[in-house]
Amino acid sequence: MGMTSAQKRGFGATLWDWLTTVDHKKIGILYMAGGGFFFLMGGLEAVIIRIQLMSPENNFISAGLYNEMITMHGTTMIFLAAMPILLGLMNFIMPLQIGARDVAFPFLNSLGFWLFLFGGVLLNLSWFTGAPDAGWTNYAPLSIQSPGHGIDFYIMGLQLSGAGTLMGGINFIVTIVLMRAPGMTYMRMPLFTWTTFVASILILFAFPALTVGLFLMMFDRMFGSAFFDAALGGNAVIWQHLFWIFGHPEVYILILPVFGVFSEVFPTFAKKRLFGYTAMVFATFLIAFLGFMVWAHHMFTVGLGPVANSIFAVATMAIAVPTGIKIFNWLFTLWGGSIKINSAMLWALAFIPSFTIGGMTGVMLASAVADYQYHDTYFVIGHFHYVIVGGTVFGILSGLHYWWPKMFGKYLHEGLGQLSFWTFFVGFHLTFFIQHFLGLMGMPRRYWVFLENQGLDTGNLISSIGAFFMSFGVIVFLINIILTTIKGKKAPRDAWGSGRTLEWSISSPPVHYNYKQLPLVRGLDPLWIEKMEGNKNMTPAEPVDEIHMPNGSILPLIITIGMTIASYGFIYQTGNKLWLIAVYSGMAIALISMLTRSLKDDHGHHIPKEELERIGD
């Protein structure tokens, strides 16, 4: 597809193609590129934090800048790095796995991406005038009191990218419900599709809570309302509830898709079907369901009372059960398999012990009484980095190595892949394992400095050294991408030779309409079934006929630009009412483009049968 023909078209045309694309594969790549960029930003912030904490009473950065650094590190990594990269993988892979030619709402898909990107850029523009500094949780009343416009950037930036994510979630749900290929029943869907589905449901139900929370925060900071103002009867705990009603499902939004990734990687490289498929699906739903009822475990020390604390403690511990089911199912998938170790598999294998440690400390934290001891210490930092790095980041890297040949038609270099794995893996444990003990020794989180000779010096030094190992691993991974893009080994359609699911039945990278003929799915792991019966490829479910595809559009980008201008206006209109011009003109741009979209009929286009027959597949 694209790549070769795009190069012939020249730079301007290629750029225009990417700006107007509604192709789920290109949008997926855009998501991953955007998320990757913010991942580097967040990583840089992390390194700065670790340099500051390398030695006692260090003076590398000022206390105020340190607050900005931790806030931006957390916010960037969660909202702008981990989630978009996952959305990118889902966008690229899920439609291929269910045998669809695109997502249900291609236009909305593009709009969602641009909203995320501009939201992220807006948030990061705050570095020039003062970044948000109330922590990624942005608790009131600290966030209400914070001077300057940092928090306002946080509010508007997250509002924009949150709206984009919500659109993505709705889109994926409709795609999975309505666009499965003939024969692809729910219980034949690959696990990655299942976890995409469940994570999308979580997005659907969790993000509106963030939207409301951000609106209330915006009204309080910009328009003088009193939601969190105790003097006028407000209550700051409302923010905490709203934030965590969103925020806890959010961590499952981050982890469930990578559970799906591992459930694809293990069977492929163990050459064995996934153990306990039904239990895996069920456990995914159970995790999502329980994940919605445990948010108050972030608030144990607020003073909700012993009854509420106990209920949330028990619900939290219960999540360990479905997660345990999953861990055992992966182990049983490996058991007796003919295992092939490569970088994708290494990340997946390393995930199991790393994530299990994070899960164990999670159960420790779930005990409300003990949590009074752990709360706001480095123990918590250690815990959630074990689940988010040891789970989500390992999963993302495993998925990237696994699907890279499918997405770009070239393998990543195996040696470089293993080098980046080992340095990152060792660095990760160096950095975060010791932090549990620092926390237990009483080192609080979010403090700018620690004092000398309190037993914290060596631990912090080790932790910082680990951070450099991780950075090295990331740099090697970047070099790997660049080198293999220039001259990588070309990948065939079934890149690993043992692909089980539909995406391995089409060319690498796929043509822009994915399937010339929709495949007929005859069971779980449809490609594997065909291969076992001696067929080279999927049996088509339809004759070759013209294909209906959506048209590209620049409108999503223009809508987003309008909204970004309006957001900028909102941030600064508190000081100078002239900025209202930006608010209104930005809104006008967005509304006029939306109107254009709805008034102008767009029926998409058809790829004629003759062309399909000429190209082959």
Partner 1 sequence: MSHDHSIDPKNMPKDPSKATTEGKHKFMGLWIFLGGETVLFACLFGTYLALRNSNAGGPTTQELYGLGLVFLMTVLLLTSSLTSVYAIYHMKNNDFKKMQLWMGITALLGIGFLACEIYEFAHYIHGYGFTFRSSAFGSAFYALVGFHGGHVAFGLSWIITLMVRNAKRGLDLYNAPKFNTFALYWHFIDVVWVFIFTVVYLMGMVS
Partner 2 sequence: MTDEMSTRKINSFQKQKNKQEMQRMVVSFALMIIFTLIAFALVMLEVPSTYVIPIILLLAFVQVGFQFFYFMHLKDKGHEVPSQIIYGGVFITVMVALTFTVITWW
Binding at 225: pick from partner 2, partner 1, none (beta carbon under 5-8 Å per type): partner 1
Minimum distance from residue 233 beta carbon to partner 2 (Å): 11
C-alpha angle 256/258/262, rounded to 5°? 120
Instruction: Determine if 60 is a binding residue for partner 2 (CB under 8 A).
Output: no
Q: What share of the chain is helix, strand, coil (3-state, %, to 5)?
A: 70, 0, 25
Minimum distance from residue 259 beta carbon to partner 1 (Å): 22
Token pair for residue 582?
Answer: 């930006």
Cβ within 8 Å of residue 494, ≥6 positions away: 504, 505, 527
Instruction: Determine if 235 is a binding residue for partner 1 (CB under 8 A).
Output: yes
Compare residues 212 and 352 and give the one whose CB is closer to partner 1: 212
Compare residues 482 and 599 and give the one whose CB is closer to partner 1: 599
Instruction: Determine if 201 is a binding residue for partner 2 (CB under 8 A).
Output: yes
In 3D space, the residue among 370, 187, 349 whose CA is nearest the CA of residue 281 turns out to be 187
Stretch that binds partner 1, among 152-160, 236-244, 389-397, 562-570 (CB under 8 A): 236-244
Per DSSP, the three-state class of 501 is coil
SS3 sequence of 424-487: HHHHHHHHHHHHHHHHHCCCECCCCCCCCCCCCHHHHHHHHHHHHHHHHHHHHHHHHHHHHHHH
Phi, psi values for residue 377, rounded to 5°: -110, 180
What is the separation of C-alpha 104 from the centre of its chain, rounded to a whole number of angstroms?
A: 20
Minimum distance from residue 175 beta carbon to partner 1 (Å): 9
Residue 616, Ramachandran bin (φ over 0: left; ψ between -120 and 50: alpha; else beta): left
Instruction: Determine if 549 is a binding residue for partner 1 (CB under 8 A).
Output: no
Minimum distance from residue 116 beta carbon to partner 1 (Å): 17
Instruction: Determine if 598 is a binding residue for partner 1 (CB under 8 A).
Output: yes
Question: How many residues line the site for partner 1 (CB under 8 A)?
Answer: 45
Compare residues 310 and 535 and give the one whose CB is closer to partner 2: 310
Compare residues 242 and 283 and give the one whose CB is closer to partner 1: 242
Minimum distance from residue 235 beta carbon to partner 2 (Å): 6
Stretch that binds partner 1, among 91-99, 210-218, 320-328, 412-420 (CB under 8 A): 210-218
Binding at 292: pick from partner 1, partner 2, none (beta carbon under 5-8 Å per type): partner 2
Place of tokens 């898909």: 109
The helix-helix angle for 555-572 and 580-599 (nearest 10°) equals 160
Stretch that binds partner 1, among 235-243, 271-279, 280-288, 461-469 (CB under 8 A): 235-243
Cβ within 8 Å of residue 488, ≥6 positions away: 408, 410, 411, 412, 413
C-alpha angle 192/195/197, rounded to 5°? 110
Compare residues 292 and 422 and give the one whose CB is closer to partner 1: 292
Compare residues 125 and 238 and give the one whose CB is closer to partner 1: 238
Instruction: Determine if 281 is a binding residue for partner 2 (CB under 8 A).
Output: no
Instruction: Determine if 585 is a binding residue for partner 1 (CB under 8 A).
Output: no
Stretch that binds partner 1, among 15-23, 213-221, 315-323, 501-509 (CB under 8 A): 213-221
Compare residues 253 and 495 and give the one whose CB is closer to partner 1: 253
The secondary element (H helix, E strand) that includes residue 547 is: strand 547-549
Minimum distance from residue 482 beta carbon to partner 1 (Å): 39
Q: Cα–Cα distance between 518 and 333 in angstroms, integer?
A: 30
Instruction: Determine if 242 is a binding residue for partner 1 (CB under 8 A).
Output: yes
Task: Give yes or no for a contact between 537 and 530, defined as CB atoms under 8 angstroms apart.
Answer: yes
Instruction: Determine if 241 is a binding residue for partner 1 (CB under 8 A).
Output: yes
Interface of this chain with partner 2, residues 167 to 196, rule: CB under 8 A: 173, 177
The secondary element (H helix, E strand) that includes residue 605 is: strand 605-607
Binding at 595: pick from partner 2, partner 1, none (beta carbon under 5-8 Å per type): partner 1
Minimum distance from residue 169 beta carbon to partner 1 (Å): 8
Pick the binder of partner 1 from 209, 366, 380, 612 (CB under 8 A). Answer: 209
Token pair for residue 234?
Answer: 């407000």
Per DSSP, the three-state class of 548 is strand
Minimum distance from residue 304 beta carbon to partner 2 (Å): 5
Task: Give yes or no for a contact between 140 and 118, defined as CB atoms under 8 angstroms apart.
Answer: no
Residue 515, Ramachandran bin (φ over 0: left; ψ between -120 and 50: alpha; else beta): beta
Minimum distance from residue 196 beta carbon to partner 2 (Å): 15
Interface of this chain with partner 2, residues 216 to 235, rule: CB under 8 A: 235
Instruction: Determine if 208 is a binding residue for partner 1 (CB under 8 A).
Output: yes
Compare residues 89 and 202 and give the one whose CB is closer to partner 2: 202
Task: Give yes or no for a contact between 538 and 529, defined as CB atoms under 8 angstroms apart.
Answer: no
Residue 540 pairs in a beta bridge with 519
Q: Cα–Cα distance between 382 and 479 in angstroms, integer?
A: 29
Q: Cα–Cα distance between 122 and 102 in angstroms, integer?
A: 29
Q: Which residues here bind partner 2, judged by CB under 8 A?
A: 173, 177, 201, 204-205, 209, 235, 237-238, 241, 245, 292-293, 296, 303-305, 308
Q: Which residues here bind partner 1, judged by CB under 8 A?
A: 104-105, 166, 169-171, 173-174, 177-178, 204-209, 211-213, 215-216, 219-220, 223-227, 229, 231-235, 238, 241-242, 245, 548, 595, 598-599, 601, 603, 606
